[in-house]
Amino acid sequence: MKVNLIDTTLRDGEQMAGLVFSSSEKIMIAQTLDRAGIYAIEAGIPAMGKDEQHTLQTIASLGLSAPVIAWNRAIIQDIKTSINCGQSWIHVSAPVSDLHINYKLNKSREWVLRQLADSLAYACSFGCRVLAGAEDASRADEEFFLKVAETAANAGAERIRFADTVGCLEPFKTYEIMQNLVKRCPLPIEVHFHNDFGLATVNTVAAIQAGIQFASVTVGGIGERAGNASLEQVVNVLSGLPGWDTGVNRAALPELSGLVAEACNLNSKVHCE
Amino acid sequence: MEPNFIFIDQTLSYALRSKAMATSEFIFIKKEIARMAKVIFDIPLDSLTGIQGYKVIDFRDVRAGISMNVDQVKRAYDLGCDQIKLSFEPVALRNSLPPFMAALAEAVRRGMTTAIHGIDIARYSLDTIAILRKLIKEDRLAGMIVDDPGGRLHPLATYRTLLDLKQVIPYPIEYHGRNTLGLATGNVLGAVKSDIRKMAVSIGGVGGYPAFEEVIMSIGHLLKMPVSVPPNMAITCKKILDCMGLSIPAAKPIIGSHIFAHESGIHVDGVLKKSELYEPFRPELVGLPRIIIIGKHSGKAAVEQKLKELNISINPSHLSRVLEKVRELSNRQKAPVSDAQLPQLVLETAL
C-alpha cells in the first residue's frame, strides 16, 4: 500500500524555537525533498511576512513534482496573503479540542466550523486545492473531529490532518483511534505526531498499520519542543515492513539529513543518541 | 495497587564500556539512578572487575552478566552480587548443557537470583524453550529475558509475541528492547500491555536502549498506570550524562533543555493563556524552565510579554512595527533576537 508522506520541515520543523532557515536553504531543502520522492512539501506560512511570502513564491514556481503547500490559520486574510504570493495548495488549520476552542480562541465549536468552512470555500473560489487541519485533535471529542471533517469535505477539502499537537498519544491508543476513524471519516486522514514522549515515529507507524495513508514528517524529526515524527525513521521502519511503500528513495536520505542539520547549525558533537 | 515496575539499567554498563571510570564516578551514577526508580544494574562481570577499586563498591543491586561457567558464578558471588544474568547460546544449547546446568546449580547453591538470557524475540525456537522448561525447576529462576537485539519489532508485534511467549515460558519475563528504528519506547509500552513489569532501559537511551525518562513518563502519563515519576528528572539525567561526558540534544524528549522553549506566535500566545494548550506536562515536573524565544515566528503576544519581562514600556500602536523589525532582524542574522537586541529595535521604532 502506498503511504504518502507530507514533509513539514520547512513549516513545523522551522517552528523549532530559535531556528531560522534562510530563503536559499528553504529552496534547496524543497528541491532535495522533491528529488527524494516525497509526496508533498508543506513549505511555510505566508502570513509570517514578506520574506516568507517571497520564499514560498519561489518554491511554488520551481516546478517541483510534489505539491507545495502553504499553511494558514482559518482566517480569510491569511488565505488572501497565500493566494497573493502564488500558492495553489492551501492548508487551513483550526483547533478542534474544547481546551483550545475555549481557552485559546474563547469561541465556540460552531464558530470553528463556520470559520473553517468559510476559509476553505474562499480558497476554493480561487481554484486552489484545499486541505484542512484539525489542531489538537488527539485531545478533542472524536465526534466533533468527524463533524469538522464533514464540514471540511463539504467546503471542498481533499484531506484532513489529525494533529497530536502536544504529543500525548501512545501507539496502542493511536491504533485504536485510527482504526475507528478510518472507517468513519468522510475525508482521508493525515496523521501528524509530536515527539514529546519519544513516540512520534512509533505512533505514525501504528496509525499506518491501522489503515492511515497520509502522514506528516520532518527531516531529522525537528519541530516544536521535542519535535515531530522523523522522515528518516518513518521511511526506514516502513521499508522493513512488507506491504508498504513511501515512494521515498532511502539512498537520498543522508544528503537530506545533512542538508537540514547544517541549516539548523546542529551541533554534531558527541551526544547521547 | 502499585504495579511494581523494575527497571533493568543499562546506563552503567554502557558507561563502563565507553570509558575508563573512577570508582567515585561509578558510585555517583549508580546512586543517582537508584534514587529515581527501583533498579537493577545489568553489568557484565568482566566490566565490574575492571573498575579501579571495585572491591569497595556495594554490588548488591548489580546483576553480573556471566556466561556458562561455574568459576564466573563464584567470582560474581565473591564480589557481593546477589544476582546474575546467565547467558546461553540457543543454537549451541544441546551441546553446552552440562556447563549451563552446572553454572545454574552453582548459583542456586549460593542462593543467587538468576535470570536466563538468550531468547531472541524475533527468532526464538520453541524447542529451546521446551528444553529449558524440562531442565529448570521454576523456583530456581528469577526470570527469562526476552531480547530484541536488533530492535526490529514494532509495538503491536512486540505485544503479541510477548503474549505468545508467556504461554510457553513459565517464568517471569523481562523485556530488553533497542532503539535501532526509533520504536523503543513504544515497544516497551507493548511489553507493559502484555503485563511485563521488568524492562531494560538507559538514561537518555545511551547504548541504544529505551530511554528511561521516556518509558517512565509514558507509563505514568499516557498509560496512566501508578508509577512514581521522580522529581527533576531532567536535572538528574543531565548530571548522570555529564559525568559520562555526554551532552543531551536540546530537543530530546522529557530531558532536553529546549523542550519548553516556545517561539511561534500561536504557541507563545497559547502558553501564556494556559500552559496545557501547548505543553504536554508542566516544565516543573521534570525540572526544566519555560523559555520564550523572540524571532522569525514570533507574534505580538510574545513580544509584549518579553518587553514586560525586560521592563520596557511601549506605545501599543508600535507593536506591529517592532514585530516586523524582529522578523527582519532574525531573518538577517539567521538567529533569534536576543534580550539585548530587542530594546534597540523598540528604540528604532519609536524614532
Pairing of strands B6-9, B198-201: parallel
Q: Per the CB < 8 Å rule, is B253 touching A197?
A: yes
Cα distance from B333 to chain A (closest Cα, Å)?
A: 9
Q: Number of residue pairs across A and B with CB atoms under 8 Å?
A: 191
Question: What percentage of chain B has pLDDT greater than the value 70?
Answer: 99
CB contact under 8 A, B186 and A203: yes
Of the CA atoms within 13 Å of residue B105, those in its CB half-sphere come to 7
pLDDT category at B56 given cuts 50, 70, 90 is confident
Express as a percent the part of chain A with pLDDT over 70: 97
Cα B80 to Cα B38, B76, B104, B139, distances in angstroms:
19, 7, 17, 22
In this model, does residue A270 exceed pLDDT 50?
Answer: no
Describe the crossing of helices B319-333 and B341-350 by its angle, rounded to 10 degrees: 130
Instruction: List the single residue in A with minimal CA-CA distance to B220.
Output: A197
The tens digit of pLDDT for each residue in B298-340 reads 999 899 999 999 999 888 888 999 999 999 999 999 999 999 9
To the nearest whole Å, the CA of A184 is away from the closest chain B CA by 23
B129 to chain A, minimum CA–CA distance in Å?
27
Report the gap between the CA of B215 and the closest CA in chain A (Å): 8
- To test the contact with chain B by mutation, choose from A12, A20, A75, A232 the residue with the greatest count of B C-beta atoms within 10 A, namely A20
For chain B, domains (ranges, CATH) are 6-228 (3.20.20.70), 262-350 (no CATH)
Give the position of cell 527531516. Answer: A219
pLDDT over threshold 50, residue A272: no
Average pLDDT, chain A: 96
**B331 Cβ neighbours under 8 A, 6+ residues apart:** A20, A22, A51, B296
Q: Which residues of B touch A196 (CB under 8 A)?
A: 253-254, 259, 280
Contact A250/B at CB under 8 A: no
Cβ–Cβ below 8 Å for A172 and B218: no
pLDDT of residue A266: 62
**Fold assignment, A4-250:** TIM Barrel (3.20.20)
Determine whether the interchain pair A206/B156 forms a contact, defined as Cβ–Cβ distance below 8 Å: yes
Average pLDDT over residues B65-85: 94
Question: What's the pLDDT score for residue B280?
Answer: 97
pLDDT digits (tens, 9 = 90+) for A143-166: 999 999 999 999 999 999 999 999
pLDDT in tens, B232-291: 999 999 999 999 999 999 999 999 999 999 999 899 999 999 999 999 999 999 999 999
A187-206 residues touching B, CB cutoff 8 A? 195-199, 201-203, 205-206
Tell if the CB–CB gap between A272 and B277 is shorter than 8 Å: no
Q: What is the residue type of B222?
A: L
Output the pTM of the full model.
0.96
Q: Which residue has cell 474562499?
A: A122
Give the confidence band of A273 by pLDDT, cuts at 50, 70, 90.
very low
In the predicted model, is pLDDT for residue B218 greater than 50?
A: yes
Inform me whether the pLDDT recorded for A269 exceeds 60: no
Taking an 8 Å cut-off on Cβ atoms, the answer to whether B280 and A166 are in contact is yes
Q: Is residue A15 pLDDT above 90, yes or no?
A: yes
Alpha carbon of A250: minimum distance to chain B alpha carbons (Å)? 14
- Is the pLDDT assigned to residue A45 strictly greater than 60? yes
A51, A136, A197 ranked by CB distance to B185: nearest: A197
Is B146 in contact with B119 (CB distance < 8 Å)? Answer: yes
Residue B216: pLDDT above 60? Answer: yes
Residue with cell 521446551: B130
Contact yes or no for A20 and B249 at CB 8 A: no
| Residue A105 clears pLDDT 60, i.e. is over it | yes
CA distance, residue B127 to nearest chain A CA (Å): 27
Q: What is the pLDDT of residue B92?
A: 77
Residue-range domain boundaries for chain A:
4-250
Cα–Cα distance for residue pair A48/B85, rounded to 1 Å: 58
Do B180 and B149 touch, CB atoms closer than 8 A?
no
For residue range B97-123, what is the model confidence (pLDDT) as tens digits?
Answer: 889 999 999 999 999 999 999 899 998
Q: Are B181 and A18 inside 8 Å of each other by CB?
A: no
Nearest to B259 among A73, A100, A225 (CB): A225
Asked whether the beta carbons of A182 and A210 are under 8 A apart, the reply is: yes
What pLDDT sits at residue A64?
98
Question: Which range (A96-105, A234-243, A262-271, B246-255) has the least confidence?
Answer: A262-271
For residue A190, the surrounding DSSP H or E stretch is strand A189-193
Task: Please report the pLDDT score of residue B175 as a whole number.
Answer: 98
| Mean pLDDT of all residues in A174-178 | 98
Residue A66 above 80 pLDDT? yes
Instruction: Encode B235-265 in three state secondary structure.
Output: HHHHHHHHHCCCECCCCCCCCCCCCCEECCH
The answer on pLDDT for A271 being more than 50 is no
CB contact under 8 A, B181 and A240: yes
Instruction: Return the pLDDT at A61.
Output: 97
Query: Binning pLDDT at 50, 70 and 90, where does residue B2 land?
Result: low
B133 pLDDT band, cuts 50/70/90, is: confident
Contact B258 A206 (CB under 8 A): no
